[in-house]
Structure 1
Amino acid sequence: MRGTLSLSEESLFMTHGTLPAPATSPLPVWDLSDLYDGPDSARLHADLAAIENEARAFRETYLGQVASLDGPALGSAIATYETISERLYRILSYAQLLHAGCMTDVTIGQFLQAMTERGTAISSLMIFFTLELNQIEDATLSERLQDPTAGRYAPWVHDVRLFRDHQLSDEMERVLNEKDMAGAGAWQRLFDETIAHMTFDVEGEILTSTEALDRLSDPSPERRRAAAKALGTTLEANLRLFSRITNTLALDKRIDDTWRRYPHPMAARNLSNRVEDSVVDALVSAVRESYPKLSHRYYALKARWFGVDKLNHWDRNAPLPDSDDTRFTWEEARDTVLNAYAAFSPDLAAVGKRFFEQPWIDAQPRPGKAPGAFAHPTVPSAHPYLLVNFMGRTRDVMTLAHELGHGVHQVLAGPQGALMADTPLTLAETASVFGEMLTFRALLDATPDPRRRRIMLASKVEDMINTVVRQIAFHTFEAAVHAERQNGELSPDRLCELWMGVQSESLGPAFHFDPEYRTYWTYIGHFIHSPFYVYAYAFGDCLVNSLYSTYQQGGIPDFPSRYLDLLSAGGTKHHKALLAPFGLDASDPEFWRRGLGVLTGFIDELEAMT
């Protein structure tokens, strides 16, 4: 059967969807057998064949008929569409997670590609359904959604219809969907596998990208400098390839945007995020205007702590000179996060605890594993999985709190079903950033020593700057790249110039940048996989800061219960409706000033300590 692969001897340990942790390591590794028991699973390939047959039958039944369906029949059709979609997502989720666990294994890469190709072919059979749904007149559709079966899906239908003006014909949509595997999808895979295979020679020590980037937080300036130079050397050697990938994907997006009649490169992302252009513009303007009192002011303060006029770029995430480089065991990190969650809401912590009781987290750093961290929702009928690369630092505890927040959010939203559980990116960061804030506050409140409190507060400020300032700088870089790509290909040097321009603007005059820093844009995967994703981090951070500030001030009865309701809504409500119970409105400029004010207050506190 197509897609059935024989695994090489080197990858047999993946057959059952898990990786055994070394005996000396207490770090957990996920077990994917809740999805499927291996790439050769008979159940997986039987499911795949059945799903394809169901998709063909769905097409035969409903092609050209959607507009004529009455309310009950429309509800039944959407329910069938959801069931087929969820079964397909389960297979694709398994393939993606398997690949994330070992991105350098050729046979696993082939398995992922085979499942992606098969999944694309199946999804192409059903593209017609949403296109025909969008052709129904508003009044007619409104009447049909009065039926309880169809009405349950009203939020999803509303979101589908947001794209009415940008959809193409069924035939054209199928062509674009299937061509993506040899187009954008192929370039994205090339990027992923290039990054996964990269090694960095740091003074004779061969490190992965995760390990080399972690070294930039080392207490030793010599070790930080060596890692920074090694990163720059290897990224420079691959600069032409990364530039080609970036140019090609930007061109691909421009072509797609032109055919779909999007007015500007960010329009598609804003629409999918269900957020107005004016709200995003207000966020970006508010953050950029605040650079001097946020990042510029903080890094000038950090330079004083280091006794220098200017920081080197490898000092950006350096621990403070008097930091004790506190390390956490996995058990300490787990308990810290869960206790912080429980102090806010025992119900929230109870959901989070399941991730540690079950093998749903992969925390072990290892060669070939995807760098960074993520939470994958998989499908509502299963459960999310978390990937982190735990090195024991305080930042790793915060990352765990962040990804666990995503996981809890995904579990709570699961009952909304496969079509409505996912939130737009702007709201997807709510639980993760809130979980970070809960954990930080718990750690800070448990620390009476003023020196240690200053270190912790500085670390939190740096994390928030990375989330707000740095992500808006990333966004500004992306906007400039896509704007210039409208007029032709950008040279590697021009891409680096744009990068250095936004870095100088956002980080301020307290930094000295060596030449190798110009290539650091190349490893940022969001630019490749999800254009204009990054502003969602700043949106989420400011949103949570406003939300948390409201929580601290009191006055909102049953705040934790309302918060859990917000998470449980999944993608069924707009940000205005979700924030209304807390008296917040993201369209109000004061909302963003209030969110940024939390970060400003932390920096004020640090200056007072100094």
Structure 2
Amino acid sequence: MEDTKYQEVWDLDKLFPGGSESHQLLEHIKELKIKINKLHRKVSNFQPPHNVADSIKVAELMEYIGTLRIHLSQANSFIICLLAQNPKERKATSLQSEIGHIGASFESLVHKTQKILQSIEGKFWKELLDSNLLSNYKFILNEWRKQGEYQLNENEEKLVSDLMIDGYHSWGQFYNALISELKVHVSINGTINELSVGQAIKLRSHSDVEVRKESHEALEKTWEEKEDLFSRILNHIAGFRLQVYKNKGIENVLKEPLIDNRIEEDTLDAMWGAVNKHKKTFTDYLDKKAEMLGETKLNAYNFWAPITENKQQIDYKKAVDFVIKHLSEFGPELENFTLNAFEKGWVESENRSNKSAVAFCAGFPLIEESRIFMTYGGSINDVLTLTHELGHAYHNYAMKDVDGLNRHYPMSLAETASTFSEMIVLDAAIEKTTSNEEKIFLLDEKLKRSVMNFMNIYSRFLFEQNFYQERKQGFVTPSRLNTLMKEAINEAYNGSLGNASAYSWVWTPHYYITKSPFYNFPYTFGYLFSLCIYAKAKEKGKEFEREYLALLRDSGRMSTENLVMKYLEEDITSELFWEKGLRLCIKDVKEFIRLTENT
């Protein structure tokens, strides 16, 4: 491994050679249009089954929809990668619009199918699902039938679908393009540096407090200059969504994200109840960190500050070797998978200014590969981001033999494998170090993640709840958005964070995701759920990898409550389940405070 040099620019040519000008890509999109037309005929001719023998027609339709979803995902992921590496590429932007139209047609036909299934009489429905041909689709069919209750009629669904492409999803795309193009001017050692948003945000973990503060203030100034534009984008996204919900008879804005995450509201309430019950411990951590930095209250721009004098910059090769070494200790499949990801050029990590600020993992199910995108800057946080996205890719790997419909797992479980991988690498580093200073440094990094999940994510959840409530009454002004954000942060952090960014609603990209609102609580869910899985893995050793892969493989074909009951034999509607994970984090806080008592 010593002689290995890892490339920092990914290989996209294996997917579609030639980028946005790829002949194979254009042919793929052409084939997608043909397949969509074929699906349109299939759905138009599809009639509600009248006897169990008709189950073969349902199975054939489900299989075709699943196959088409995989082909659509392949093209969509590629376009996302092209725009991430170069947000200004016009051809890719045009192709994204084209794929968006195809995707909207696909979703419209799925909704029409759901509506047909919803019309089937209840008693016969059970008989139909008991047939052998539909056993593999039983969960998804029940889910679709339930979703069919909230579908509009065919003409209304088509109208909404058409409006979504250029009037709804395009707002989210516009947000991503705008963020990617913004430049932030930060003074470092007396020199003004023009940085991308991603590069400026990365300075929050800089060793020099003045650099952290300068970056924070420069970012706030940038957001203030663009607040009107960003508030319009956010209001338009929310306004459209609320109008669609109103037409569908949905009053609770949480209904869709709960369905998407396949969890009950009791589960969400239990999770937040447990988090809030034990929040005092994490304010103790923040107060201790403030004391160590000579502050009465921890300033937000110092939250990611390295707590010791450890100014180590980890070069990319060392980072990759570090990740491979520690992930290999979990199991042979994860080790081989990780080696393959780096050897085959799946990772884009180069630190340059003309790329997207957002790290992600994109799956390519047709060739059973993934691509990972990030900007590597040399910090431990970058190492963990890399590990996090590798976890997403491993989840994709676990689903490689699953059919197209059953590999679609919810957001809450999407964060499970990523967070689990982070824990393996970070805990291994903590356990192996013999230096108290380094242990404090690593514990601090770990506890930052606990605070992010228990406090920051909760502030996002509170903000989004309150924002949607006010948006129902009309346009929410930038100043009011700032107030809502400040109030949410103050409540979530128990008043223990100073100079928090009132513009968090601008630079948090999850608020602008048009697929579904509340892309926040799944992170906390995944974090705590991963802790429970991690505890079991440490107990069982490498033999647990098979169970873990089976859990990931099943993540697309059962409710979250049933999945946890099957593999962990736990009831997640009870606060007791969530407190098990919280206790592990509380233990970390106590150890951190013990080690820093005389610091």
**Do these two structures clear the TM 0.5 threshold for a shared fold by scoring above it?**
yes
Matched AA of 2:13: S
> Which residue of structure 2 lines up, in the alignment, with residue 36 of structure 1?
16
Distance, in Å, in 1 between the alignment partners of 2:157 and 2:13 is 34
Task: Choose from 29, 46, 49 the match for 1:68.
Answer: 49
1:56 partnered with 2:56: no
Distance, in Å, in 1 between the alignment partners of 2:111 and 2:11 is 33
Matched AA of 1:103: P
1:219 partnered with 2:192: no
Task: Choose from 422, 442, 448 the match for 2:434.
Answer: 448
Matched AA of 1:460: K
Tell whether the 8 Å contact from 1:239 to 1:522 is kept in structure 2 after alignment: yes
Runs of 4+ displaced beyond 6 Å: none
> Which residue of structure 1 lines up, in the alignment, with residue 90 of structure 2?
106
Task: Choose from 214, 222, 230 the match for 1:242.
Answer: 230
> Which residue of structure 2 lines up, in the alignment, with residue 319 of structure 1?
306
> Which residue of structure 2 lines up, in the alignment, with residue 302 of structure 1?
289
Shift in CA distance, 559/508, structure 1 to aligned 2, threshold 3 Å: same
Give the C-alpha shift of residue 127 in structure 1: 4.4
Give the C-alpha shift of residue 154 in structure 1: 2.0
Matched AA of 1:72: I
Matched AA of 1:282: A
After superposition, the C-alpha distances for 1:305-346 in whole angstroms (9 at most, x for unaligned) are: 1122123221111111x3312222222222222222221211
1:173 partnered with 2:157: yes
Distance, in Å, in 2 between the alignment partners of 1:438 and 1:96 is 29
Question: Which moved further from structure 2: 600-609 or 112-121?
Answer: 112-121
Tell whether the 8 Å contact from 1:286 to 1:593 is kept in structure 2 after alignment: yes
1:82 partnered with 2:62: no
Question: Which moved further from structure 2: 484-493 or 534-543?
Answer: 484-493
> Which residue of structure 2 lines up, in the alignment, with residue 187 of structure 1?
171
> Which residue of structure 2 lines up, in the alignment, with residue 422 of structure 1?
408
Instruction: Name the SS of the counterpart of 2:20 in structure 1.
Output: coil
Shift in CA distance, 43/280, structure 1 to aligned 2, threshold 3 Å: same
> Which residue of structure 2 lines up, in the alignment, with residue 397 of structure 1?
383
Matched AA of 1:304: E
Task: Choose from 329, 347, 353 the match for 2:333.
Answer: 347
User: 1:97-496 alignment to 2 at 5 Å?
Assistant: 97-121=81-105, 123-124=107-108, 127-203=111-187, 204-294=192-282, 296-320=283-307, 322-496=308-482
Q: Give the alignment's TM-score, normalised by structure 2.
A: 0.92
Shift in CA distance, 369/134, structure 1 to aligned 2, threshold 3 Å: farther
> Which residue of structure 2 lines up, in the alignment, with residue 577 of structure 1?
562
Give the unaligned 5+ runs of structure 2.
none
**What's the % identity of the aligned pairs?**
23
Aligned residues: 581
After superposition, the C-alpha distances for 1:114-173 in whole angstroms (9 at most, x for unaligned) are: 332344345545642232233223333333334443322223212222312211112221
Matched AA of 1:427: L
Shift in CA distance, 341/56, structure 1 to aligned 2, threshold 3 Å: same
Distance, in Å, in 2 between the alignment partners of 1:503 and 1:33 is 44
Instruction: Name the SS of the counterpart of 1:72 in structure 2.
Output: helix
Tell whether the 8 Å contact from 2:186 to 2:214 is kept in structure 1 after alignment: yes
Instruction: Name the SS of the counterpart of 1:386 in structure 2.
Output: strand
Question: Which moved further from structure 2: 499-508 or 448-457?
Answer: 499-508
Tell whether the 8 Å contact from 2:242 to 2:472 is kept in structure 1 after alignment: yes
Distance, in Å, in 1 between the alignment partners of 2:34 and 2:326 is 48
Give the C-alpha shift of residue 557 in structure 1: 10
Task: Choose from 538, 547, 559 the match for 1:562.
Answer: 547
Give the C-alpha shift of residue 274 in structure 1: 0.6
Distance, in Å, in 1 between the alignment partners of 2:180 and 2:399 is 32
Give the C-alpha shift of residue 289 in structure 1: 3.6
> Which residue of structure 1 lines up, in the alignment, with residue 573 of structure 2?
587
After superposition, the C-alpha distances for 1:49-100 in whole angstroms (9 at most, x for unaligned) are: 3332333233324415331371122212221222223222222222122112
Task: Choose from 495, 504, 528 the match for 2:490.
Answer: 504
Question: Which moved further from structure 2: 323-332 or 55-64?
Answer: 55-64
Shift in CA distance, 523/475, structure 1 to aligned 2, threshold 3 Å: same
Give the C-alpha shift of residue 466 in structure 1: 1.4
Give the C-alpha shift of residue 352 in structure 1: 2.4
Distance, in Å, in 2 between the alignment partners of 1:298 and 1:50 is 55
Instruction: Name the SS of the counterpart of 1:206 in structure 2.
Output: strand
Tell whether the 8 Å contact from 1:55 to 1:126 is kept in structure 2 after alignment: no
Tell whether the 8 Å contact from 1:468 to 1:537 is kept in structure 2 after alignment: no
After superposition, the C-alpha distances for 1:342-392 in whole angstroms (9 at most, x for unaligned) are: 212112222222211212111113223221311112335442211121111
Distance, in Å, in 2 between the alignment partners of 1:281 and 1:510 is 23
Instruction: Name the SS of the counterpart of 2:185 in structure 1.
Output: strand
Distance, in Å, in 2 between the alignment partners of 1:433 and 1:603 is 19
Distance, in Å, in 1 between the alignment partners of 2:110 and 2:494 is 50
Distance, in Å, in 1 between the alignment partners of 2:534 and 2:74 is 35
Distance, in Å, in 1 between the alignment partners of 2:415 and 2:502 is 29
1:96 partnered with 2:80: yes
Distance, in Å, in 1 between the alignment partners of 2:111 and 2:564 is 33
| RMSD of aligned Cα (Å) | 2.1
Shift in CA distance, 141/353, structure 1 to aligned 2, threshold 3 Å: farther
Shift in CA distance, 144/498, structure 1 to aligned 2, threshold 3 Å: same
Shift in CA distance, 302/129, structure 1 to aligned 2, threshold 3 Å: same
Shift in CA distance, 123/506, structure 1 to aligned 2, threshold 3 Å: closer
Shift in CA distance, 555/379, structure 1 to aligned 2, threshold 3 Å: closer
After superposition, the C-alpha distances for 1:163-194 in whole angstroms (9 at most, x for unaligned) are: 12211112221211111012221211221111
Tell whether the 8 Å contact from 2:273 to 2:575 is kept in structure 1 after alignment: no
Distance, in Å, in 2 between the alignment partners of 1:399 and 1:360 is 15
